[in-house]
Amino acid sequence: MFADIASFHAWYTEQRRSQKSRTERIALEALDGWTTEPSTGNLVHRTGRFFSIQGLDVVRSGRAIDAWQQPIIVQPEQGILGILVKEFDGVPHCLLQLKMEPGNVNGLQLSPTVQATRSNFTGVHGGRAVPYLDHFTTPRVGRILSDVLQSEQASWFLAKRNRNMIVQVDQDVPLLPNFCWLSFEQIAALLREPNLVNMDTRTVLAGAAALRTPRQPPAGNSFGAALARSWTAGYALHTTVELLSWFTEAKNRCVLTRRLVPLTGIHGWSHRRGSVVHDRGQHFAVVGVAVEAPDREVTHWHQPMFEPRSQGVIAFLVRRLRGVPHLLLHARTETGALDGVEMAPTVQCQPDNYSLLHPDHAPTFLHHVLAAAPDRIRHDSVQSEEGGRFYHAQNRYLLVEVEDDFPLDVPPDYAWVTPRQLTEFVRYGNHLNVEARSLLTFLGFYKEDNE
C-alpha cells in the first residue's frame, strides 16, 4: 500500500531500474519462430498458434474512403484480463502489476492482476504459471463485479476479444513482487499521467466506472461534481430503449463487407526493408522485434508488431443538459469488430491520415476537439495502446466540454448519452469499443485539478 502518490513513484522508479528488458527492431524475415507462408505471404508462428498477420479486404465501409486493403492481426483465442479488488479499512483497492511489454514507450506500465492469453494459461508458451489466475477461473471464492467479452482495436485486430473481469475478495491475498494495491483514488490520480495505466487496465476498469460513486455526491457546479451526481440517477436526453434503437438502426444501415486475403499483394502496401509499410507512409507499419525480458514468464522471444505512423486523437465531446453531462457517442463502423458497428468516442482517428484528403473529408467533430479552448478541456492525456501487439502506439485522450449552445441536433450516427447509460451498455459485449471504454474509465475515475 502506498501512503501517497510520491511513494508509488519511488517504487515505480525502483522497479524500472531493477526490471531489465530490451526490445530491438529487427527485420520481419529475421524473426525466429515466425515464418512467411509461401502461398499467402501471411506471417504465422511455427506452432500455428498465438496470432497471425494476414490481409484484410474492406468494401462498403461507409467512411470517407469506402474501400481499402490492409494488414490485420488475427488472434481468435480469447484471453483473460482480470483485476482483483479488496477492501482495506473499508477502502477498495485494485491489485495491479508493473509489467513490461515490448511495445511500451517506457517499458513498464500498470497492468491488470492477470493479463493472460489462452496460450499463457494453457502453457503453450512453456512459461511459468500465471499468478492469481485461480481467482478468475471457476470455482472461485470471490464475488464477480464485472465479467464481459470486450472487443479490442478494430482497426488492427480482426474480431479480437478478451474477457474483462473484476473480482472482489475478502480473504488475504499474498502480494508478489512487481504487484501493488492501489486505491480507486490513487488510480484516479495515476490515470492523469501519460503512459502509465496500460490499455488492459483501462478497459477492465470501465466495468468499475460506476463503482467509485461517492455515497454523498458533491454539490456545486464543477464538471466533477456534475459528473459524480450523474452515475446513479438523473435526466437523460434519450431513454435506453431509444438509444438501443439508434444503435440497431446504425447496425442495420451498415453494409460493410470484409474478407481475409493473402498479405502478399494487398493494394497500397509494400514489403520494404524488413517491414510491411503503407505506400504513402500513413496508418501503420508491420515491424519485427526481438525482446529480452528476464522478469517475464518467457524471457526472450521474437514477434511482429504494428507500429502506428502518427499519434491518434480519441475524444468525447460533452455537453451538460439539465445539469447532467451527456457524451456525444458515435455508432461507428468498426472494420475489424465482430459485429461491424460499435459505440465509439465522438472522435477517434489519426489526424495525419487525413492530411492528404480534401478538408471536407476530415473526421466529423475533429475540429471541435483540436480547437477547444483550454478551459473547456476536462481531461487530456497521452496513453499507450496494448504493448504486446502495438509498438509505441500512443493516443491523446480528451474530454472536451462544449458550450451550452452547441447543437443538440447531430448526424444520425451520433447520439447524446449519459455516463450512467454507458455503464449499462458496457456490461454487454459488442457495444462500447475499446477506445470508448478507456474514456469511460477516465470519466469514472475523474479527478479535478484542485482535488
Residue 241 found at the interface with a copy of itself (CB under 8 A): yes
What's the CA angle centered on 14, arms 9 and 18, to 5 degrees? 145
The nearest distance, CB 78 to a copy of itself, in angstroms, is: 6
By the rule CB under 8 A, 428 interacts with a copy of itself: yes
Report how far residue 365's alpha carbon sits from residue 313's, in angstroms, rounded to the nearest whole number.
11
- If binding is defined by CB under 8 A, does position 178 make contact with a copy of itself? no
Are 3 and 12 within 8 A, CB to CB?
no
- Per CB under 8 A, 430 contacts a copy of itself: yes
Cβ nearer to a copy of itself, comparing 425 with 442 = 425
CA distance 203 to 440: 9
Q: Which is nearer to a copy of itself, 281 or 412 (CB)?
A: 412
* Residue closer to a copy of itself (CB basis): 67 or 357: 67
Closer of 259 and 358 to a copy of itself (Cβ): 259
How far apart, in whole angstroms, are the C-alpha atoms of residue 196 and residue 387?
12
In the complex with a copy of itself, which residue's Cβ is closer, 178 or 423?
Answer: 423
Q: Which of 27, 361, 427, 448 forms a contact with a copy of itself (CB under 8 A)?
A: 427
Cβ at position 442, least distance to a copy of itself in Å: 23
Name the DSSP letter for residue 402. Answer: P
Are the C-beta atoms of residues 402 and 319 closer than 8 Å to each other?
yes
- Does 339 bind a copy of itself (CB under 8 A)? Our answer is yes
Neighbouring CB atoms inside 10 A of 176's CB total 12
Under rule CB under 8 A, residue 338 binds a copy of itself: yes
Closer residue to a copy of itself (CB): 13 or 240: 240
Q: Which region, judged by CB under 8 A, interacts with a copy of itself, from 75-83, 106-114, 181-189, 413-421?
A: 75-83
The residue from 49, 251, 278, 309 that contacts a copy of itself (CB under 8 A) is: 251
- Cα(291)–Cα(302) distance, integer angstroms: 6
| Stretch of 46-54, 248-256, 319-327, 377-385 lying at the interface with a copy of itself (CB under 8 A) | 248-256
| Binding string, residues 181-220; x marks residues near a copy of itself by CB under 8 A | ----------------------------------------
Q: Which of 242, 279, 448, 451 binds a copy of itself (CB under 8 A)?
A: 242
User: Within positions 132 to 151, which residues make up the interface with a copy of itself, using CB under 8 A?
Assistant: 138, 144-149
Q: Phi then psi for 36, rounded to 5 degrees?
A: -95, 115
Report the length, in residues, of the chain.
451
**Residue 185, phi-psi category: left (phi > 0), alpha (psi -120 to 50), beta (remainder):** alpha
80 lies in the site for a copy of itself, by CB under 8 A: yes
- Decide: residue 168, CB within 10 A, 0-12 exposed, 13-18 middle, 19+ buried: middle
Binding-site size for a copy of itself (CB under 8 A) equals 30
**Is residue 49 involved in binding a copy of itself (CB under 8 A)?**
no
Q: Which of 135, 163, 283, 389 binds a copy of itself (CB under 8 A)?
A: 163
Residue 122 interacting with a copy of itself (CB under 8 A): no
Q: Does residue 412 interact with a copy of itself by CB under 8 A? A: yes
Distance separating alpha carbons of residues 7 and 2, to the nearest angstrom: 6
Long-range residue pairs from 130-137, CB within 8 A, at least 24 positions apart, any chain = 130/297, 131/176, 131/179, 132/82, 132/84, 132/95, 132/173, 133/80, 135/82, 135/84, 135/167, 135/169, 136/80, 136/82, 136/165, 136/167
Show the CA angle centred on residue 241, arms to residues 227 and 397, nearest 5°.
40
Query: Least distance from C-beta 215 to a copy of itself, angstroms?
Result: 20
Q: Which amino acid is at 371?
A: A
Which is nearer to a copy of itself, 293 or 426 (by Cβ)?
426
Does the protein bind a copy of itself through residue 249 (CB under 8 A)? Answer: yes
The helix (run of H) or strand (run of E) holding residue 42 is: none
SS3 134: helix
**Which residues here bind a copy of itself, judged by CB under 8 A?**
76, 78, 80, 138, 144-149, 163, 165, 240-242, 244-245, 248-249, 251-252, 257, 338-339, 412, 427-431
